[in-house]
Amino acid sequence: MGADNSATIEVMKKIGVAVLTAAVIAGTGLAFKNFVDPYETVFRVVDGDTFILENNKQAVRLFGIDAPELVNCYGQESLSRLSELLEKGKVQLKEPVVDKFGRIVSLVYVNGRLINETMIKEGFAAYRSEPGSGKEAMKTAHESAKSGKTGIYSPVCTDEVSPNPECNIKGNHDLDRNEDLYLLPTCPYYHTVIIRRFEGDRWFCSESEAQKAGFKLSPACGLGTNRTPVEK
Query: Which residues are known to be catalytic?
Result: 61, 69, 103
Give the gyration radius of the chain's Cα atoms.
Answer: 22
Contact residues for 83 (Cβ-Cβ < 8 A; gap 6+): 45
C-alpha span between 4 and 87 (Å, rounded) = 34
Task: Report the amino acid identity of residue 207.
Answer: E
What secondary structure letter does DSSP report for 67?
A: P
Q: What is the DSSP string of 66-82?
A: EPPPTTSTTHHHHHHHH
Nearest residue to 194 via CA among 221, 224, 166, 154: 154
C-alpha span between 46 and 25 (Å, rounded) = 24
Question: At 23, phi and psi to the nearest 5?
Answer: -65, -40
Partner residues linked to 204 by β-bridges: 169
Q: How many residues are given for the chain?
A: 232
